[in-house]
Amino acid sequence: MLHGTRIIEFEALGPAPFAGMLLADLGAEVIVVHRKTGGDNPAKQDVTLLDRGKRSIALDLKDAADHGTAHALIRSADGLTEGMRPGVMERLGLGPEQAHALNPALVYGRMTGWGQTGPRARQAAHDLNYLALSGALFYAGQDEPPFVPPTMLGDIGAGAMYLAVGMLAGLLKARQTGQGCVVDAAIVDGASHMMALLLSMGPQFSTHARGQSLLDGPHWSRCYACADGRHISVQCLEPKFYALFLDLLSLSGDAGFARQYDPETWPVLTARLAGLFAAKPLAHWAALFDGTDACVAPVLSPDEARADPHIAAREIWTQGAEGPASAPRFDTHRPTPRPSPTKGQDSAAILQDLKDKGLL
């Protein structure tokens, strides 16, 4: 879908390389500029799954010759992404102003937690902190302290996806006008923006008391422990699904469960359902609800999820593939991501390409 689009990605952590992987999965030529020497993060490997489908060139951006190569890459590109703290790329002489002087049509994507401006812009933080300050963490959990959600919510949902959408919008505009732009993708912005869906549902969905909204309070919107210590998820929001849920549990005639949306009944009904689910193992409940519209599903481990019939039928984890299949899907073709390169694997070919284009 993005064949013919070149993105230069400067090595970073988390959401920025994820966005690059997504763009590469969709057919863009993504050239990741890896550091010639390792960074200061011991958890960062030179090349990871997030580099799949990309080409790699290793540069020392403080070296004059390599800095010139970075300039040539920018002149050759449609877009650029980076995940540094505000000001770092400018100090390297590769900030938006310098880049647009080289390539006015360039879409310059910046991925941070706090954004390029504001009192916290240059402060260190992580996924949980951005979610907390945005208000998105408020509804995580009921009576206990907010739990730590998967990093997908902030880094990927509120970060990488917004960077990717911003890049695509910028690329469309640049092709129409020849004018590039700067995409300021901040996780705190994305997390706040994602709350629009919850807020659009009305005050009953988003009260200012934890454990009392329609998504974090009811007995029909939570996970329950089963007899074997495994867990089952329940979220039968609409009355017709709730009625089916009760019917399958032989609770349709129980007057106590009749007032689905009454907060006063939720604690007692939660305790009753907890006792019910605790009496049988997960396999029993999964079989009972399988194939129904009761909005119930087992909580699976990643390995178990790969073997689930639905996941397997969609070939999300294809045999021999590196990581999950590309998403979303298209009716014209299905992208087949290439493996991750080794660090600097494509340096010679990329340099030759730049020379052939007269950029070096």
Burial class of residue 358, CB neighbours in 10 A (0-12, 13-18, 19+): exposed
Selected catalytic residue, list 63, 126, 228, 290: 126
Q: What is the dihedral of CA 188, 91, 178, 175, to 10 degrees?
A: -50
Selected catalytic residue, list 78, 127, 155, 216: 155
Residue closest to 200 by CA, chosen among 215, 186, 184, 187: 215
CB neighbours (10 Å) of residue 149? Answer: 16
d(CA 39, CA 22): 24
Residues 223, 226, 232: CA angle, nearest 5 degrees: 35
Q: Is 155 a catalytic residue?
A: yes
95: left (phi over 0), alpha (psi -120 to 50) or beta: beta
d(CA 290, CA 287): 5
Residues 6+ apart with CB under 8 A from 60: 35, 36, 37, 66
Token pair of 129, please?
């902190």
d(CA 252, CA 255): 8
Q: Sign of the CA dihedral 70, 72, 74, 77?
A: negative
What 3-state class would DSSP assign to 34?
strand
Matching residue, tokens 């990309």: 54
Q: String of b and e for 75-90 (b: at least 16 CB within 10 Å)?
A: bbbbbbbbbbebeebe
Q: Is 126 a catalytic residue?
A: yes
- For the annotated catalytic residues, the residue numbers are 126, 155
